[in-house]
Amino acid sequence: MNASAGTSRDFRGLIREVPDFPKPGISFKDMTPLLGNAAAFSAALSEMASWYSHEEVAYVVGIEARGFILGSPLAQLLHAGFIPVRKEGKLPSASRRAAYELEYGMSAIEIHEDSIPHGAPVIIVDDLLATGGTARATLDLLEQLHATVLGCAFLMELSWFDGRMRLQPHEIRSLITFSS
């Protein structure tokens, strides 16, 4: 990446589209080329952090697994704690659970029930917004814990699924939008 690193087009060029993964008909958006490019990874995180530069974010809630990769450094940039939302059965202590439908299957996620103090301001981070089912389930968990959700941040968004609709009224930000 050169001095112009950081525009949406630069980032998009570092997403590899893998047809028919993990199932026929799914075009998987692989962010590993972007992660492997130090300048691009840093610029992407800086831009995502800038969305919240005027907010007090107490916790970044990252969704397993790719939400961990983006959420942990983002938490550091925002001087916030990091809270993992994990696939069912992975968290060791008492947890809340929410089931949801994926673009390619069903799943359930969990959060430690004592992880967030009542009312604490949080953001949700994941790699990609498709139908919004995963983020909606995460919002449901955060509502159970009475967290204050400031917004949801994604590296990528597949706009034709209209996942934003399911996440209303929360503010949704994404760095790269795929429209077709």
Residues near ligand AMP (CB under 6 A): 26-29, 63, 66, 102-103, 126-134, 163
Q: In this structure, what DSSP letter does residue 166 have?
A: H
Which residue lies nearer to ligand AMP by CB, 102 or 165? Answer: 102
Question: In whole angstroms, what is the distance from residue 139 CA to residue 17 CA?
Answer: 28
For the question of residue 113 being annotated catalytic, the response is no
Tell me the closest approach of the beta carbon of residue 127 to ligand AMP, in angstroms. 5
Which residue pairs, CB below 8 angstroms and at least 24 apart, start in 73-80?
73/45, 74/45, 74/48, 74/49, 74/125, 74/153, 77/45, 77/46, 77/49, 78/49, 78/52, 78/123, 80/123
> Least Å distance between CB 90 and ligand AMP?
15
| Sign (positive or negative) of CA dihedral 89, 94, 95, 96 | positive
Q: Which is nearer to ligand AMP, 66 or 86 (CB)?
A: 66
| H helical segments located in the chain | 8-12, 32-35, 38-50, 66-77, 133-144, 163-166
Q: Is 136 a catalytic residue?
A: no
CA distance 59 to 141: 14
Q: Which of 47, 97, 103, 173 is catalytic?
A: 103
Minimum CB distance to ligand AMP smaller for 39 or for 102: 102
- β pairing state of 81-87 and 59-63: parallel
Give min distance, CB of 26 to ligand AMP, in A: 6
> Min. distance of Cβ 103 from ligand AMP in angstroms?
4
If the CB atoms of residues 39 and 165 are measured against ligand AMP, the closer one turns out to be: 165
Catalytic residues: 66, 103
